[in-house]
Amino acid sequence: MCIGIAPPPKAPWPHPLIAREGWPFLAISFLSSLAVTSLAGWVWALPLWVIAVFVLQFFRDPPRHAPIGVDLVLSPADGRIVAVEEVDDPWLKRRALKISVFMNVFNVHSNRAPVDGVVKGRWYNPGKFVNADLAKASTENERNALWFQTEDGRDVTCVQVAGLIARRILCYVEAGAVLQRGERYGFIRFGSRVDVYLPLDARPRVALGDKVKASSNVLAQL
């Protein structure tokens, strides 16, 4: 099957260049930097400007265009593939193919729908904040799961997992929402992970260590 990149569409959802979740942090960091620069000079303000630039890059949220293809599962996050394995899906109580994407503090942290489908369920579990690069983060850390069901009845579970530094998982959809592939649905602050549970017959298109971008790269084909 030939897979290409769709021409830039007029998306039905907004794609701010800077995520709205970061606006308060940006305002505080830049105003503080300006204030110290005007009162004490560049030497004293330089560390604050470094922090402001870091905050700016962390909360960037560029538009992405989804590949064209049938039954594609797109990456819900930017990052590095840290798991491609058969496991138990704790949310839908089934055996599943799990593909995990680890996000470090330099990745884009906006989360996007991996498939076209209806959100059939949402679950939130409080938990720990161990390093999201570790396998036990999937079962021990704070996490938020969405159950997507495609038009042909295929089930995909997408789980936002907090990390060592991350302390806030944001999810803006509830059961009943209808999402398109690549549509923005949430955000995780400061390093984290997203686990995707797929039917066992899904064909993975990534391997351990691969770097992926949300909406732009294919994780698997259903």
Residue 192 annotated as catalytic: yes
Task: Count the Cβ atoms, other than its own, within 10 Å of residue 41.
Answer: 10
Distances (CA, A) of 160 to 8, 66, 179, 204: 27, 20, 16, 20
DSSP string, 91-141: TTTEEEEEEEEEE-TTS--EEE-SSSEEEEEEEEE--B---TTSTTHHHHB
From the list 76, 64, 65, the residue with the least C-alpha distance to 101 is 76
**Cβ atoms of 80 and 110 closer than 8 Å:** no
Let me know the angle formed at the C-alpha of 209 by 220 and 189, rounded to the nearest 5 degrees. Answer: 85
Residue in 100, 110, 192, 215 annotated catalytic: 192
From the list 191, 193, 130, 190, the residue with the least C-alpha distance to 160 is 193
Active site residues per annotation: 192
